[in-house]
Amino acid sequence: MKNVLRVVGVLAISMSSLAVSPVSATTAKLSWHAPTRIAPPLGETWSIACTTDTCFAATSTGLLQSTDHAAWTRSTSSVVATSTIGEIFCDAYGSTCEAFTQQGASFITANNGATWSKGVSLSSLVGKNYLNGVTCVANRFCVAHYGPMFGKESFARATLSGATLGTWTKLTTPTIYGAGGINCPTTTNCIVGGNETSAYSSKSELLLSRNGGLTWTKSTAGSFTLASLDVTCAADGSALCLATGNSKASQLASAVGFVLSSTDYGVTWHRSVLANSVSDFQDAVCVTSTNCLGRSGAETGSGFFATQYTTVQSTDGGVTWTAAPSLPTSVDPSLVTCANGHGCFLILNESPISIYYSSDFSSWSSTTFPLASTDVYGTTCVTSTVCFTTSFPRGGAANSPLEVYESTNGGSTWVYRSTLPDWLLYVRKISCLSTTTCVAIGSKATGDATILRTSDAGTTWSAMDLGALDTAKTTITGVSCVAAHCVVAGYLVTGSNFTDISGVLLDSTDAGSTWRSVSVTLNGTFRDVSCATATACIAVGGSFPNGSSMQPVVFGTSDGATWTHRSTGTKGGAFSIVSCTSVSNCAYAGIDGNYNFLLASSTSGMTFTSKTYKNSTGAYLSCHATLCVAGLVSDSTDKPTYLVSTNSGKTFTTQTPIDKSLQADSVEDVTCPSETFCLGTTYSGRFTKFSK
């Protein structure tokens, strides 16, 4: 949770001082690195393609992939994870794909996106212009056209053998302006539409190739004045192609929509009869030689948004069109595209984007993607590479359920694992016994305390039975697991007075599967717990020994079963965090009686050395062996201070992060799975590594 130490209460302890001194840049070995997010904004997607097993969606901020048309995840390859991909093409009968940016860079995969490498680039040809269209035919060739936006197009071609893209060669073609997408439904037949000149009054034209894009000729069909024209061919490789758009007889005339259909790859064309009210026809796509979908537009007045569109379907190859019987949304789609052997996708590039899937236009399923991760809760790292977290999705409703993510590279990238039940309000903390088994604590939407457990790396979660515990009056604040032993700390409200509160400890000896209440007597709250071994644990919080003034309190166990009181302060305050580096050493964080941040260390939980940071509020503390990292924020300036200890929390030094953004968006929580690595989360939901 955010601001864990800001809501603890009053605290003060009388202890000796901890030394604090700056760390010079030359001596600092570990430092905070530039932050990343679970999911940066997805932007928009304008291209989807599928291999035999995997579909890919090219977005303006990376590449998404799916093996079931429903669950989409970001590519984990650093080559394409955040690249702006404009076009992607895949072998529908194999495992290779080619992806392209608008500047002409190319990327290749030969294993269904498991790994990507850079392909031969068109950048030297594209120059300062744009790659406006490209298509690839598996194991044969790729053809591209490039130029200024809506300007004169140039064409280039490269051979393609498996995942090897050859050198791009510029082609000589008839003049064409503002060309749309290139379609090559077979290894020999290719077609593209555009305009004869750049003039507003220009006629449309179609270019054809009958030798795999090597040479192109101008078709005698498809010529309209003042036209906007696009071409599509059936996804199954059949001979059906459609040319759609609108044209005007003169600048003052009304626009007229048209559909041309060809059953011989564009050699001859037939014009469909549309209603007189149709002023435009867009986004046509065909999954087979007969089954097609499109958008028919009719003018409703004057102005830019005066055309109203209706989604229509054809079952005779585009000859006749009727209203589509089944649609996933009433919103006009940004893109409809079909992939051979898979089906069709309808995309809404809204906030957040949505991808709908249908095998044949008869019914649709959907996945909606969050724009980005926002607040992250309960981040924990089992090792220096394997980490788990929960995230509230930006773009979702206020009560959107939390999502679980896993990282296998220390927080650099994250993979979606599951969505938690909608009855769960938040996850406070997660503690893992292995890379597959974790325990999470939190609160239901009703306010009831809850414990969740997963044994499959976060894919599925189960709520645990807490027995006779009054969960409606209980708040769980800390959890620590070692081997098969887990301990949970919290408090139970017993009355209306702020001192009517009792500390609660629960433990499990079977990796979190079953839980029992621990017998302890505390008029106060447990805020955190830390276990150095399966039997040695420390729990901390605040106590009301005199019935009114809160004091810091420490309980402990040395056998994992019997808990005893170790110490209670005398000058007010409470501990909020404890992190044990060994059986004989723990580091503590809290606030004193004047609301100042406090760091302390102890070998027994009974005597302490400490340092108070005046006019500051603590943010986090985490230790592993000799390494401890802590942070605080100035009450007057909100500026963070980053602290590091290399002697298990006995002394701390200050360190300034190299990345300046961490001064404004400071770290609020940290997990340290080793002496050389910690992962921090910031107030805006970013992740930052503390490492070499």
**Rounded mean pLDDT, 151-167:** 93
- Specify the pLDDT at position 185: 92
Number of domains in the chain: 1
pLDDT tens-digit series, residues 572-585: 999 999 999 999 99
Look at residue 409 and tell me if it is in a domain: yes
Q: How confident is the model at residue 76 (pLDDT cuts 50, 70, 90)?
A: confident
In this structure, of 38-52, 179-193, 460-474, 514-528, the range with the lowest mean pLDDT score is 38-52
- Specify the pLDDT at position 305: 55
- Specify the pLDDT at position 24: 36
Residues 6+ apart with CB under 8 A from 691: 30, 31, 33, 410, 676, 677, 678
- Specify the pLDDT at position 307: 82
In the chain, the percentage of residues whose pLDDT exceeds 70 is 92
Look at residue 398 and tell me if it is in a domain: yes
Look at residue 64 and tell me if it is in a domain: no
Tokens (6 digits) for 98: 């080619």
Look at residue 394 and tell me if it is in a domain: yes
Helix or strand or coil: residue 665?
coil
- Specify the pLDDT at position 187: 94
- Specify the pLDDT at position 393: 61
pLDDT tens-digit series, residues 600-659: 999 989 999 999 999 999 989 999 999 999 999 999 999 999 999 999 999 999 998 888
User: CATH number, domain at 580?
Assistant: 2.120.10.10
What b/e readout covers 435-470, taking b as 16+ CB neighbours within 10 angstroms?
Answer: eebbbbbbbbeeebbbbbbbbebbeebeebebeebe
Asked if 98 and 85 count as a contact pair (C-beta separation under 8 A), the reply is no
- Specify the pLDDT at position 220: 76
In the chain, the percentage of residues whose pLDDT exceeds 90 is 62
- Specify the pLDDT at position 253: 84
Q: Is the pLDDT of residue 684 over 90?
A: no
Q: Is the pLDDT of residue 106 over 90?
A: yes
Task: Look over the chain and give the mean of its residue pLDDT values, rounded to a whole number.
Answer: 88
Look at residue 641 and tell me if it is in a domain: no
- Cα–Cα distance for residue pair 395/352, rounded to 1 Å: 6
- Specify the pLDDT at position 536: 97
**Rounded mean pLDDT, 132-157:** 91
Look at residue 263 and tell me if it is in a domain: no
- Cα–Cα distance for residue pair 545/555, rounded to 1 Å: 14
Give the structural domain span for 521.
Answer: 5-18+371-601
pLDDT tens-digit series, residues 388-423: 999 876 544 455 678 898 999 999 888 778 888 888
Q: Is the pLDDT of residue 207 over 70?
A: yes
Look at residue 531 and tell me if it is in a domain: yes
- Specify the pLDDT at position 248: 86
- Specify the pLDDT at position 41: 58
- Specify the pLDDT at position 633: 94
Structure-model confidence comparison of residues 382 and 659, the more confident one: 382
Residues recorded for the chain: 692
In this structure, of 10-19, 219-228, 475-484, the range with the lowest mean pLDDT score is 10-19
The DSSP element (H or E) to which 661 belongs, if any, is helix 661-664
Q: How confident is the model at residue 370 (pLDDT cuts 50, 70, 90)?
A: low
Dihedral sign for Cα atoms in the order 110, 113, 117, 121: positive
Q: Is the pLDDT of residue 73 over 80?
A: no
pTM over 0.85? The answer is no
Q: How confident is the model at residue 372 (pLDDT cuts 50, 70, 90)?
A: low
Q: How confident is the model at residue 333 (pLDDT cuts 50, 70, 90)?
A: confident
pLDDT tens-digit series, residues 244-277: 988 888 878 888 999 999 999 998 999 999 999 9
Look at residue 323 and tell me if it is in a domain: no
Tokens (6 digits) for 544: 């009301």
62-66 vs 270-271, strand pairing mode: unpaired
- Specify the pLDDT at position 18: 41
pLDDT tens-digit series, residues 452-510: 999 999 999 999 999 999 999 999 999 999 999 999 999 999 999 888 999 999 999 99
Any idea which residue has 């305009």 for tokens?
Answer: 195
Asked if 19 and 599 count as a contact pair (C-beta separation under 8 A), the reply is no
CA 17 vs CA 21, 554, 578, 600: distances in Å = 13, 20, 18, 9
In this structure, of 44-58, 291-305, 469-483, 559-573, the range with the lowest mean pLDDT score is 291-305
Q: Which residues pair with 358 in a beta bridge?
A: 344
Q: How confident is the model at residue 302 (pLDDT cuts 50, 70, 90)?
A: low
DSSP 530-559: EESSSS-EEEEEEE-TTSSS-EEEEEEESS
Q: How confident is the model at residue 514 (pLDDT cuts 50, 70, 90)?
A: very high
Structure-model confidence comparison of residues 29 and 539, the more confident one: 539
- Specify the pLDDT at position 17: 36
